[in-house]
Structure 1
């Protein structure tokens, strides 16, 4: 597993690849575009799950939690190009181009099936990974403009994601946590996404659930895991990432501590 990034534009453009299943929770501060070149990408959100194969491109909205799971397929390692869309450059674009009529901001990932325009776009980006010097800002701006024009031309809903520059407002804490507890985020991130300071988040959480956030999160994740093992017949290795654990060993330890038996006891 590896990520190859541009030297002077850290986290802006990368190639991700791996020959085994891997991944984890992500929340991006910028919108992110991912083009799957080989293998499969599974994107798990609170309300739905997407399976993306070779040739598919996905637009991941900023400040929206998702679990990204990457798999080899048919003996071919996972490989994808990842491009972050800097908010400052996207804002500059929309100052010159009016977005489509305003609708509620789209929280969901947008999926773009295989398309020659997107294929050509990402093929043109790959050589920049070899640069040892900074990509000129003017050229970067031109590439971002090209990206936005292509996305808007392929799907009008792109504006709902790309032109949403708002920061999270104060949300109903109970509703948000019940929908997003499986995402393995730091408490500071949960507090930000619910529009609270960390101190206020902890205070409101204790009032709403009568438990500390960490204890409540662990119990909810283990309950979900128990259901998936017992009722959906999943294996521990298939679910631990999707229920909010970083590794299988930690999941197995916490599960046995909670229920008195190992998760493999439920595998039939």
Structure 2
């Protein structure tokens, strides 16, 4: 089966949502991150900073039967303490990309190698977590000083164009509360604005939008239902197939067979 190793400092969200800035380093293998608009690819020896308050899905590929990666979350409370202790200025950062590629750096590589001895059963001993986070942050700011404009920005998402936001992010399997927060709205305002724009309830619209995309992928691209249901925000193939047949009066597998004949 090969080996899969993940070294984590902090907590990783179970949702397709990034609640805190997260440093990622690929030791071995390949990792692809998709933000609803763009795919970012990282290979062995490459590092990135995943910005908080973004929707993201990732896929990993083994190399020689192995994959190993590091995730370190830089939560707001830690960043505020660091900023005070080191009198770090927030500054400005121009890029709005969800994933920021970090240039290769010997200090970063040495830092990654220094982590391994501290891990037991895949977890870092708690006493060393903040010490290692602080070390990483010092390296990042030495390497890319303008990154302070990202890390020390504690603002919340501002109100944005809801139609464009939903058409970009409908494939992500997250709660209505997440969609509302990321669009800069309360849940009640989100539902009200959604109804005004789409003339539909969010949950109903999401299912119909995902099913329409599924129909296109099967009919025009000849993709298999089992290959697309997760990417379209469905948790189970059975749920996807049931919803598809109910909506189109035709199962996804029957549609695929028709197009292959």
CA separation in 2, counterparts of 1:109 and 1:45?
A: 8
Would you say 1:135 and 2:156 are equivalent positions?
no
Task: Figure out how many residues of one structure are paired with residues of the other and give that number.
Answer: 252
Q: Residue 18 of structure 1 aligns with which residue?
A: none
Report the 3-state secondary structure (helix = DSSP H, G, I; strand = E; otherwise coil) of the residue aligned with 2:156.
Answer: coil
- Which stretches in structure 2 are left out of the alignment for 5+ residues? none
Q: Residue 176 of structure 1 aligns with which residue?
A: 165
Q: Judge which range, 82-91 or 59-68, deviates more.
A: 82-91
Report the 3-state secondary structure (helix = DSSP H, G, I; strand = E; otherwise coil) of the residue aligned with 1:33.
Answer: strand
Q: Residue 208 of structure 2 aligns with which residue?
A: 219
1:52 counterpart (42, 64, 83): 42
Would you say 1:194 and 2:183 are equivalent positions?
yes
Q: Judge which range, 114-123 or 197-206, deviates more.
A: 114-123
Q: Residue 246 of structure 2 aligns with which residue?
A: 257
Distance of aligned partners of 1:53 and 1:201 in 2 relative to their CA distance in 1, 3 Å threshold: same
Q: Residue 86 of structure 1 aligns with which residue?
A: 75
Aligned-residue CA RMSD (Å) = 3.1
Report the 3-state secondary structure (helix = DSSP H, G, I; strand = E; otherwise coil) of the residue aligned with 1:52.
Answer: strand
Q: Structure 2 matches for 1:15-54, cutoff 5 A? A: 26-54=16-44
Would you say 1:67 and 2:57 are equivalent positions?
yes
Report the 3-state secondary structure (helix = DSSP H, G, I; strand = E; otherwise coil) of the residue aligned with 2:234.
Answer: coil
Distance of aligned partners of 1:61 and 1:31 in 2 relative to their CA distance in 1, 3 Å threshold: same
Query: Greater Rg, structure 1 or structure 2?
Result: 2
Aligned partners of 1:105 and 1:160 also within 8 Å: no
CA separation in 2, counterparts of 1:113 and 1:248?
A: 40
Which protein has the bigger helix share?
Answer: 2
Q: Residue 15 of structure 1 aligns with which residue?
A: none
| Deviation readout 1:94-130 (Å, 9 max, x if unpaired) | 3412244x24563420123654322221222233332
CA separation in 1, counterparts of 2:244 and 2:23?
A: 35
Aligned partners of 1:105 and 1:164 also within 8 Å: no
TM-score normalised by L of structure 2 = 0.81
Aligned partners of 1:32 and 1:84 also within 8 Å: yes
- Which stretches in structure 1 are left out of the alignment for 5+ residues? 13-22
Q: 1:187 offset after TM fit, Å?
A: 0.6
Distance of aligned partners of 1:183 and 1:231 in 2 relative to their CA distance in 1, 3 Å threshold: same
Aligned partners of 1:34 and 1:57 also within 8 Å: yes
Q: Residue 226 of structure 2 aligns with which residue?
A: 237
